[in-house]
Each structure stands twice: as structure tokens, then as C-alpha cells.
Structure 1
């Protein structure tokens, strides 16, 4: 595969390949430290890695974790392990091992001594003739969006800057709890779609850079989003408090759409039905255009390229 894909594929033999990807949970660890809650961040780690691996059509089979800590706090590590176990079950993969590094000279908590960093490395298997790159996408294809749970694991630095009081009550809970809502793990639903008779032409995990991630797919096409998914309230709060302009919001956050599948227009209803079994609210959010390298968000009147939205 060329550069820019969600995962690399290493050829094992003439038929099968090994899909490889690595990612962290970014500065979401700081929210965990400030809230004193660590039981969901493992779900984020599995989601950030396994969701990337499935984007090339692979079946994630294993994840290794690297935990760097300021101090080896047994309770904190146990909570992190709880989330990792839940994430592994949701993604139907194994966590056969990992590494714990105690680095007090390098890691500083918010507050100390609860500082940590969390990184994962995910492996998947894929048939070489079933790799999904986006190369077969055509103008007129449908873009199916799957809802996010909220902020997932991208844009936490901006969110913390504009809404610094994590204990602030909002929408029936606190800002901190909303920011800790785990990344949705889409693996099962996407694997079920791949195993159906739907022609899955492109898969995109919507992380940092938002819907501009669609441009990572290989085809020289564009995308018009005219029916976006509902925007979670946390993003409305961030926009208001910043204030943060729409262009920046849609470059930094998923804005309610955590994953996209590109399929032929006539197969979109079946794709929506299959994906919606596990992820209610899944819907067609737009279509592929012949305007290469452009993502147009019609309701927001934004036009995006690889350099951002304007």
C-alpha cells in the first residue's frame, strides 16, 4: 500500500497479508488523570488501533499495549486493564502481551504522580485480493456514516483549553465524563459488512482532521456531505465557549460521525441496515463526486482539501 493508509500490509504469502497499525490515545490521558478515572481509556486504545486496521479490510486479531507511567500505581493499572479487556472483547481480538515502563523523569501527571501514556500496536489478517484501499470508488457512490459517541480520542487539547472545568455540569453529567466517553469500536459491524455481498469500496475511521480523512482513500474523487449525522452536544459547548469557528471544529473533531463506508448507491440501503444493527443512527450522509481532493460540507458551507476547511 502507498503512504497515508490507516494500516500497512505485509505480504505473508501469495494469498494473505498482515495488517499493521499503531496509535495512542493522545492527550485524553490528561482527562483521565484530572478526573481520577482510568477504566475506559483502554477501550479508547483498542478503538483507535482496531478501527484503523479494519479500514484496509483486515480482521484485527491481536493488540500489544505499551504503558509508560510516572509511578506504578496498582489501582490505576488495574483500571486501565479493565478497559483493555472490554475493548478486546468488543473488537474480538487478543491482547497477548505488552510493556510497562516506569519513567518518573519523563512522565509528569496532571496531577502528579498519576501521569501515564498509553500506546497500542494492532495486527490483523487480510486476504491480499480483499484489501480495501478506496481505489475502486466512483463518482455517485454513497457515503454511509456511523455515529460516534462524542469526542473519541482526538481534539482533547482544544477541548480542555476552551472548557477547562471538567467538573462543570452539562447535559445531565459533567464535562469530564463526556470527554471520557470511550471511542466506539466499529470492528464487528464493519467485518459483518465486509463479509456480506455489499461491494465495500472504501472505509475511513474519522479521527483527527474529521471528514477530511475520506481523502486518504486512493481514488481521485471528492465527497459531498449533504446530510451529516447529528452533532453531539459536547461539540456545541466547545464551539460556544471557544468560540471555535466551524472550519476548525470540522478539522479537529469527528462532529458526530466516527466511521464512514463508501458503497455503490444502490447497495446503500443494505449497508445502512447491516451497520445499523450494531450502531443505530447509521445513515447515508453524502455521495462521491468527480471533484478530486475536495470534501464539501453543504449545510456548513465549508469546502475542504488536504490543507483544511475554508
Structure 2
């Protein structure tokens, strides 16, 4: 249970219970034909078998309450990047190459100029990921959407699809104790934990979006909070096409390091990537305990690859070629379901 996050309005335990209730119903769907799904529920993306050789990967996600900051700052040009990133970064975790994304944009009021600005981010993100945006949906919902300020409210989410050879799907089932964990840097909060971050910075810390606290090196609060989510697709695809034996891939989003547990096994983070300064500011102003920060946020590591020890250097070099600072951060253990960060005295699940 994340105490500060719950106080900010997001009870992660309750959310998990809600997801469980929803999935328990969806699992009872009877289509009258054998299931095409080939990836267990709870992984980063679903994969449906199209032929014996070909699978279609599907992921869906949104930008979340980062949109509140974009509305408050009237800076809409980058949140489309976040929307693309949250989807395509999940797709590549099963070894898929993203090919297309369709967006769903719900607005309080239609404003063509604002929509064009949102579209700019979608364009930049799609080009960075190498995928198309062949269509989407615009819904005008003044009774449901309320902006910050009104009537400028909107919600933005999308669904992305990709292709993957059935034989090449990556699930983490080949991960073994002793494998190397390669971490790839994040750019900041990405698109997770904003309810807690906004409460810490704006409500508890009393900061305005134009303020420039020393911890973030002269950048404004808005700059730090609206830094786009990194798109890892091209780096990961190069890794997958190399001779490196890629055994697991994890997109580090809400839930922090615990995202790696979707791959099975256990993990020791022995040399974490540097923590992005915005996290230190959130922790200080929000009085958020270190353990909870690592449980909620990416803490400077936005993506992880698991490879055999012998491939660690090559994997790090390929990923660092796209994202400087990528390097080995730890080792797979035989303590299934547990992540440790020895230097910080942390262990997940918390105990």
C-alpha cells in the first residue's frame, strides 16, 4: 500500500482489487471459437495469433493526470508524445514492432487550434516510434470532461498494434538467475504518479508551475512535469535484431521497479541509475518515504532489458547508442517475486 499516494487520492490496493474484479468477468467471455490469445493476462501487451507464424500485439493506455498540468500551463504540444510512448513502449516488451496507433480524444469543448497542438505531439511520437496514426476518435463530452481551467478539458488515450513472430515472443520465461539487468534512463516522471507529484509540489510544497526550484537546475516546475516520456522503440528493436539473447523486457511505469516482476524471477538492483532530480523534489516536499518513491515512480530508469551475463556489455552498448547512460544495474536472482535495492535497504514486495 502506498500511503502518500492513497492520501493524494490514488489507492493502489483498491485499484488492484478493481482490476481483478473486471478481469474476473472478462475471463468468462465465450466467443464460440478457440482463443487466439498467446500471452498470459497481466503482461505488457496482449498478443493474438493470426497464423501459426504471425501474432498481432495490442496495447492501450493514456496520459493520465499529466494532462492537468498541460491544461494549467497551456502547453499541449508534447502530451501526444506521452500517449504514443505509453503504448509503444509496452508493445516492444513482448518483442513486437509497433506499426499503427489510433487515438481517442475526449474534449470538453472543440477548439481547432488546441486540437492541432495536441496532434503535434502525436505526430512527433509516432515518427519517433516508426508507426502510423491511420485514424482515431474525437468525442465532445461537456457533461463528463471538466478542464483546468474549464472549458479546456480533455482526455487523451490510444491503442497501438504491432507485429511479432510467434516464435519470437518475449515473455521472460527464459530468464535465469545470474542474468544481467540493463537499465535505460528515463527523462523524469514520464506519465505516472502525477496525482502524488502534483500534490507534493503544488499543494504541499506551494510551488507554481513557473517556479524554478534549485533541485531541478533552473528548469521550471512545468518544464520538469511536462518533459515527454522517452520512446524506447528504436533502441529495443535494434537490440532484438542483434545477436544478443534478449530474455526479458520491462517498461517501468506506475508501480516503479515492481513492473519487472511481470517477467517472473527475482531481481537485485545493485547499481541503480542516477535518480532524476524531480524525484528528490517530490520526496522532500511531499514527505514521501524512499520505499514508496521506488514503489510509485520510475526513479530514473524507464526501461529494462534482461540478457545473459555474456551479452551484458553488448546489450548496454546498443541501448546506450540511442539512450546515453544505459548500463548494467543489477543481476537476476532465484528469489522469485522479490526485488531488492541493497544500497537503499529496500525489498519489494515490501516486508
TM interval, short-chain normalised: over 0.9
Equivalent position SS for 1:277? helix
* 2:300 alignment partner in structure 1: 256
Equivalent position SS for 2:237? helix
* 1:142 alignment partner in structure 2: 180
2:245 aligned with 1:199: yes
* 2:84 alignment partner in structure 1: 46
Q: Deviations over 1:196-224 (max 9, x none)?
A: 0100000000000111101001x4x2000
Equivalent runs, 1:1-310 vs 2, <5 Å = 1-164=39-202, 165-170=208-213, 171-217=217-263, 219=264, 221-305=265-349, 309-310=350-351
Equivalent residues, number: 305
How far is the alpha carbon of 1:167 from its aligned partner? 2.1
How far is the alpha carbon of 1:113 from its aligned partner? 1.0
Q: Which has the higher strand share?
A: 1
CA RMSD of aligned residues (A): 0.7
Following TM superposition, the consecutive aligned residue runs of length 4 or more in structure 1 with deviations greater than 4 angstroms are: none
Paired with 2:237 and 2:73, the residues of 1 have a C-alpha distance of 34
* TM-score using structure 1 length: 0.97
Q: Which has the higher helix share?
A: 2
How far is the alpha carbon of 1:243 from its aligned partner? 0.7
* TM-score using structure 2 length: 0.86
Structure possessing the higher radius of gyration over alpha carbons = 2
Paired with 1:75 and 1:174, the residues of 2 have a C-alpha distance of 25
Structure 2 runs not aligned, ≥5 long: 1-38, 203-207
